[in-house]
Structure 1
């Protein structure tokens, strides 16, 4: 087998490991499941690995470095492969897995509805912990899991900062957390603040959608320009230049 074929095989294996399997057995996912069951730190059955076992991202970076080393060969190839592996590892970790991205988008989309439902439950006279648990039963998806942890924490006597911190990683939830903590500390009505937060979140989402549509219109012009500009030069300018040069010469 040639060096080029082996290098290509290593690159393909690295891409498959990182793209297809990255995050499937991640430790953060296990910690999230542990929070829901009350068994934080307990590994999921069948997913435990020894301490020396490398994660898939690091293994993919190592295979990419091996491919570079095999492709170049010699001492320079080994050095380039080591540098490639060291650089590829942090770069690959910046790529958000698809499951995490889908979860983040789903949570951000459900947050305004959750704020409205929570405000309605509070106006009906339910305490905050019971209202949060009622919204958890009404919703479905990853945001409902976070709200369930908030409700259980409040029901068991946890502080508002500790409970609402479960929403800390949800995009746009900082205003909801601030309103809830302020209400718990000062006794101010939370329902009105949640309604305003829901309206602000919907307005921000509409503004972001309009901005994305405008960016798409600008980006569409680029490939059209790249296609029409060479055609204009070949069909419009080149014949004129050739005719002028023919008359001059």
Structure 2
């Protein structure tokens, strides 16, 4: 009984010494700001939700641009503000690769007055298909990389266990 109590006391003392030197992990300052870098499909989904809830295209761009950090969010906000000021569709958008996807998804809606929800859903599905294809290609490359070492390990074992005894039994 006394040995168990001594063991528990030793474990507690060791844990207390470890906790004394333990330093908690610090959160980087950029993660504290609440603004995170979001993926383009998520941004398109947020725009789609804003449009479905009755927001106009410029107000949806401004609202989602306020959530998204970086140049992409600034581009969305500035495009929405410029559209509210009456600037033409093509002049309101800055030239950026990812912003071109959003611009193209809303272009026919702005000029023809159709709902942009279908185009946004198609763009989101296309990104999902592209991501799925990229994952499947990576998995295929990984399976090939794993096959070579596995084959190199099993081939000598197969020869040593299967082929050599068979040849020895025929020879003897």
Q: What TM-score comes out, normalization by structure 2 length?
A: 0.57
1:129 corresponds, among 39, 42, 58, to 58
SS in 2 for 1:205: helix
**Counterpart in the other structure of 1:159:** 88
Structure 1 pair 182–224 and aligned structure 2 pair: CA distance change class (3 A): closer
Pairwise mapping of residues 1-249 of structure 1 onto structure 2 (< 5 A)? 106-120=38-52, 123-124=54-55, 126=56, 128-137=57-66, 139-142=67-70, 143-166=72-95, 168-170=96-98, 173-174=100-101, 176-186=102-112, 188-189=113-114, 192=115, 194-237=116-159, 240=163, 244=167
Q: What TM-score comes out, normalization by structure 1 length?
A: 0.42
Structure 1 pair 182–228 and aligned structure 2 pair: CA distance change class (3 A): closer
Q: Are the aligned partners of 2:47 and 2:61 in contact in 1 as well (CA < 8 Å)?
A: no
Deviation at 1:147, TM superposition (A): 0.8
SS in 1 for 2:97: coil
Q: Are the aligned partners of 1:108 and 1:170 in contact in 2 as well (CA < 8 Å)?
A: yes
Structure 1 pair 150–238 and aligned structure 2 pair: CA distance change class (3 A): same
Q: Distance in 2 between the 1:163 and 1:219 partners?
A: 43
- Would you identify which runs of 4 or more consecutive aligned residues in structure 1 move more than 4 Å? 241-245
> What's the CA shift string for 1:126-170, capped at 9, x where partnerless?
4x4344323333x2323322211202322344221021344x411
**Structure 2 unmatched ranges of 5 or more:** 1-35
**Structure 1 unmatched ranges of 5 or more:** 1-101
Q: Are the aligned partners of 2:79 and 2:92 in contact in 1 as well (CA < 8 Å)?
A: yes
Deviation at 1:244, TM superposition (A): 4.5
Q: Are the aligned partners of 1:113 and 1:198 in contact in 2 as well (CA < 8 Å)?
A: yes
Q: Are the aligned partners of 2:63 and 2:77 in contact in 1 as well (CA < 8 Å)?
A: no
